[in-house]
Amino acid sequence: DVKVTQSSRYLVKRTGEKVFLECVQDMDHENMFWYRQDPGLGLRLIYFSYDVKMKEKGDIPEGYSVSREKKERFSLILESASTNQTSMYLCASSLAGELSYEQYFGPGTRLTVT
């Protein structure tokens, strides 16, 4: 059974803290993605990676960075957390090529920044 796991289900951080969200997939997928989900705004792509050490900006990269040192692991970093980054964060992975439309999602991390 395919699996995408995220390091935390719930996280509470203070404004200005550096926050790390970790995602691991066990499907040997080339592509990995980070989204944030907010009511009425749907799924917005923050960053994605199509290979180790490769990354591309999505629609809302400001305030975030990412790291992919190993194929199975993709980290999202909030350099200095702010209250407007309170959200649900979803990680996903997919194969490259024809089947890249089939993304597998983790359960999400609900981040609260106070």
Inter-residue contact 6 to 109 (CB < 8 Å): yes
94 is a site residue for another protein (CB under 8 A): yes
CA distance 9 to 65: 20
Burial class (CB in 10 A: 0-12, 13-18, 19+), 44: middle
50 is a site residue for another protein (CB under 8 A): yes
112 is a site residue for another protein (CB under 8 A): no
Interface with another protein (CB under 8 A), residue total 27
The SS3 assignment for 101 reads helix
Binding to another protein by CB under 8 A, coded x per residue (else -) over 17-46, reads -------------xx-x------xxxxxx-
Contacts of 94 (CB under 8 A, 6+ apart): 29, 30, 31, 33, 100, 101, 102, 103, 104
64 is a site residue for another protein (CB under 8 A): no
- The window from 14-22, 64-72, 79-87, 95-103 that contacts another protein (CB under 8 A) reads 95-103
92 is a site residue for another protein (CB under 8 A): yes
Binding site for another protein (CB under 8 A): 4, 30-31, 33, 40-45, 48, 50, 56, 58, 90, 92, 94, 96, 100-108
